Amino acid sequence: MKQSSHKLTGTILLAALTMAMAAPLSAQETASSATAGASEQVVSPEAQAVLDRMTAYLKSLQTYSIESNATRDEVVSFGYKLQNNERLDMVVQRPDKLRSDMRGDLKNRTFVYNGNKLAMYSLDHDVYIRTAAPDSLGKLVGGVLDAGVDMPLIDVLYQASTGSLTEGVRGGVLVGDSTVDGVECDHLAFRQATIDWQMWVQKGAQPLPRKIVITTRYEVGDPQYQANLRWNLKPSIDAKTFVFTPPEGATEIPFKDQGAIEAGTP
């Protein structure tokens, strides 16, 4: 997964996928059985072939929705580990529309992007911002990440569709066959400097990522993020899908990093 100049902060997903990738391996690190002996980037041909099929297919999708049920570990005092639940509903219409609704134990957020404006609403605080945004999803992702905005899953899907997931990977293999929510998948496993991550990719003509697990090593408790993804390639979209209407009584607040959103980078 790509090491970027973007400041990817705020969630286990963003941090685990992008921030720790360039750090050197510890001299005492013992590689897992899946990636033993990997001192440089070594991804097996079989694993790379699955990723390549997935990348090509994701690039071909113009409209889709995803329902994701995820768990996120939180390490609290004395190393005690709590598991928090969250649900994400996301609708994408390329090249310039996105809606994401997240509800969970830690935070509740809504994001709506319509090609020129981005709105972000926090149900927990009943506040929202609206800001100018670039004219494509690719540029939007760069802008929101530069601004440190937490948009769950959008970064990993963006990297999956651009084929940059394995940048920074020290080892990766095709583990074997598996089943996720009744769907037959190829199970992949990868190791980076401070994280291990796994991905389950649907077999057949629709190689979609169906499950993601990220383990952050060298942190107390080895916290994990896990998300199961359910895809709809023909979602029902109406005129209101990409329109943000503030809830009655919600307060609009200024967005301090509007320039980063407006600038964006492909």
Predicted confidence at residue 114, as pLDDT, reads 95
> In sequence order, what DSSP letters do the residues of the chain get, joined into one string?
----SS---SSHHHIIIIISTTSPPPTT----TTSTT-SS--B-HHHHHHHHHHHHHHHH--EEEEEEEEEEEEE-GGG-EEEEEEEEEEEEETTTEEEEEEEESS-EEEEEE-SSEEEEEETTTTEEEEEE--SSHHHHHHHHHHTT---TTHHHHHHHHHT-TTTT-SEEEEEEEEEETTEEEEEEEEE-SSEEEEEEEE-TT---EEEEEEEETTSTT--EEEEEEEEESS----TTTT---PPTT-EE---TTHHHHHH---
For residue 7, name the pLDDT band (cuts at 50, 70, 90).
Answer: very low
Confidence check: pLDDT of 147 > 90: no
Predicted confidence at residue 4, as pLDDT, reads 38
Q: What is the mean predicted confidence (pLDDT) over 173-189?
A: 98
For residue 13, name the pLDDT band (cuts at 50, 70, 90).
Answer: very low
Predicted confidence at residue 24, as pLDDT, reads 29
pLDDT tens string 27-69:
223 333 443 443 456 999 999 999 999 999 999 999 999 999 9
pTM: 0.79
Confidence check: pLDDT of 244 > 70: yes
Q: Which residue has the higher pLDDT, 255 or 211?
A: 211
For residue 26, name the pLDDT band (cuts at 50, 70, 90).
Answer: very low
Which superfamily, per CATH, for 43-263?
Answer: Lipoprotein localisation LolA/LolB/LppX (2.50.20.10)
